[in-house]
Amino acid sequence: MDEHIKKTRFETRAIHGPKVPEDGTRSVTTPIYPSSTYGVEYPGDESGYVYARWSNPTRKALEQTLASLENGSHAYAFSSGLAALNAVLTLLKSGDHIVAVDDLYGGSMRQFEKVARNFGLDFTYVDGRQPDNFENAIKENTRLFWVETPTNPLLHLVDIEKVSAIAKEHNILLGVDNTFATPFIQQPLTLGADIVLHSASKYLGGHCDIIAGALVVNDPTLAEKLYFAQYAVGAHLNPFESWLMLRGIKTLHLRMERHSVNSMKIVEFLETVDLVDKIYYPGQDGNKVPNEMIMPGGMVTFSLKADFDAVKQFCMATKVFVLAESLGGVESLINHPASMTHASIPKEEREARGITDGLVRLSVGVEHIDDLLIDLRNALTALRKHLEVAAS
Ligand SMILES: Cc1ncc(COP(=O)(O)O)c(C=O)c1O
């Protein structure tokens, strides 16, 4: 990255990330290099690009941009968020123990429980809102704390600085899944984390058109190990999707601002609705928002005073909010965790974790707020009618 650009602010670095010097065309945008292999000067020459699994100019430009935005030294782009998580697990060995937040993305938990356990890793899940819970769960063989903040779907917040202090005291690595907040809102490495993970399929891509993941670190030894995992396992991101992510990142700050403004207005509205039981939103519980999150982001979760089927009907009644899995795109999405993202968790366990049948998760997009509010109002009117009929 140009020395002058390196010193600029987040928004400028997001737009003017590294240029690709090899190109020579003065292209304003980073080109897509589809080449799988590169000519070398002599046998064994590894001074430049060799083979695209090792590195690729488009992916490299993206990785340098990601490192800069997360205040890290190195970043690696993967074929999905879960592929990035798998690379983190390659830092461990059979017999190691991990303490993770209990309100974890279901796919991450599935990888821990159904894949990593088979390789001899052990996991304990704790409520991450109390940092002491991490300390109390430490065993002799604990090597990694794994945190999401805000969590999915209950938007619990974890105090990264406090958990990092505990991790450092016990010589344990701290990894933070920063998918929901994005580096525009919070930068975990600055708060003491060792590894940042993104499902870039969400806000970094920003348009629901890629599946991608990323890891960012600030330590050369960790960087070397993760780079090894990237090229030895081969779950790197391809050039076209790298380019799409680079394009998405250029508007990340604009999108996050609008996502946040729209979500705050939706929360204000939900507070006035008698059918709404509880709202989950960063800062909503009256507690201080840790981690210097500069804005709340675009996720809003709430529970309705209605049963499983009625809530499903509510989610099907919106016309602007699309009923869909995933989140983080410009388009608003609505999700019923109990029958969608978290359906694979047995009901009792789900309920114990607070993921009740009445829970609805919104990924608030960047459409006009009035259209979003009208859409929710109309769906609530339909729900009211449904409940009246059911009661009569
Ligand atoms: C917080 C979080 N982390 C990780 C993932 C996994 O990412 P991907 O779907 O890109 O593999 C997701 C996906 O929904 C997620 O929400």
Give me ligand 1 centre to Cα 25, in Å: 36
Q: Whose CA is nearest to atom 3 of ligand 1?
A: 199
Same domain, 13 and 144: yes
Whether residues 320 and 376 share a domain: the answer is yes
- CA nearest ligand 1 atom 13, residue: 199
* Same domain, yes or no: 241 and 307: no
Distance separating the N- and C-terminal Cα atoms of the chain:
67
**Are residues 211 and 65 part of one domain?**
yes
Structure tokens at 237: 């991101």
What's the gap in Å between 176 CA and the centre of ligand 1? 13
148 lines ligand 1 (CB under 6 A): yes
Which residue has the CA at smallest separation from atom 9 of ligand 1?
81
Give the residue carrying structure tokens 């891509």: 205
Distance between CA atoms of residues 148 and 178, nearest Å: 7
Distance from C-alpha of 101 to C-alpha of 144, rounded to nearest angstrom: 12
Does 340 contact ligand 1 (Cβ within 6 A)? no
Residue 152 Cα to ligand 1 middle (Å): 10
CATH of the domain at 64: 3.40.640.10
Domain count, the chain: 2
Ligand 1: nearest atom to the Cα of 108: 4
182 CB near ligand 1 (under 6 Å): no
Domain boundary among 221, 249, 277: 249
What is the CATH classification number for the domain harbouring 344?
A: 3.90.1150.10
178 with 288, same domain: the answer is: no
* Together in a domain, 102 and 181: yes
Q: Domain check: are 231 and 303 in the same one?
A: no
**Residue-range definition of the domain harbouring residue 364:** 253-391
Q: So what's the pLDDT on residue 256? A: 98
Q: Give the end of a domain, one of 223, 249, 275.
A: 249
Q: How confident is the model at residue 349 (pLDDT cuts 50, 70, 90)?
A: confident
171 pLDDT higher than 80: yes
Same structural domain, 229 and 310: no
Determine the Cα–Cα distance for residues 359 and 299; give it in Å rounded to an integer: 13
Q: Among 115, 179, 341, name the best residue to mutate to test ligand 1's pocket (greatest count of ligand atoms within 8 A of Cβ).
A: 179
243/337 same-domain check: no
325 Cα: distance to centroid of ligand 1 (angstroms): 11
Please check whether residues 74 and 219 belong to one and the same domain: yes
Residue 340 has pLDDT above 70, yes or no: yes
Encode pLDDT of 217-246 as tens digits: 999 999 999 999 999 999 999 999 999 999
**pLDDT at residue 216 tops 70:** yes
Weakest-pLDDT range from 16-20, 249-253, 353-357: 16-20
pLDDT digits (tens, 9 = 90+) for 102-142: 999 989 999 999 999 999 999 999 999 999 999 999 999 99
User: Ligand 1: which atom is nearest the Cα of residue 148?
Assistant: 1
List of residues 6+ apart from 361 with CB closer than 8 A? 153, 299, 300, 301, 327, 334, 335, 336, 337, 341
In this prediction, residue 285 carries a pLDDT of 76
160 shares its domain with 198: yes
Decide which of 213, 231, 249 is a domain's last residue: 249
Distance between CA atoms of residues 347 and 339, nearest Å: 10
- Does the Cβ of 213 fall within 6 Å of ligand 1? yes
Nearest ligand 1 atom to the CA of 212 is 10
Tell me what the mean pLDDT of segment 294-305 comes to: 96
CA 75 to chain centroid = 15
21 pLDDT above the threshold of 70: no
pLDDT confidence of residue 174: 98
Q: For residues 175 and 35, give the distance between their C-alpha atoms in angstroms, rounded to a whole number.
A: 33
Active-site residue set: 53, 105, 177, 202
320 in the same domain as 191? no
pTM of this structure: 0.96
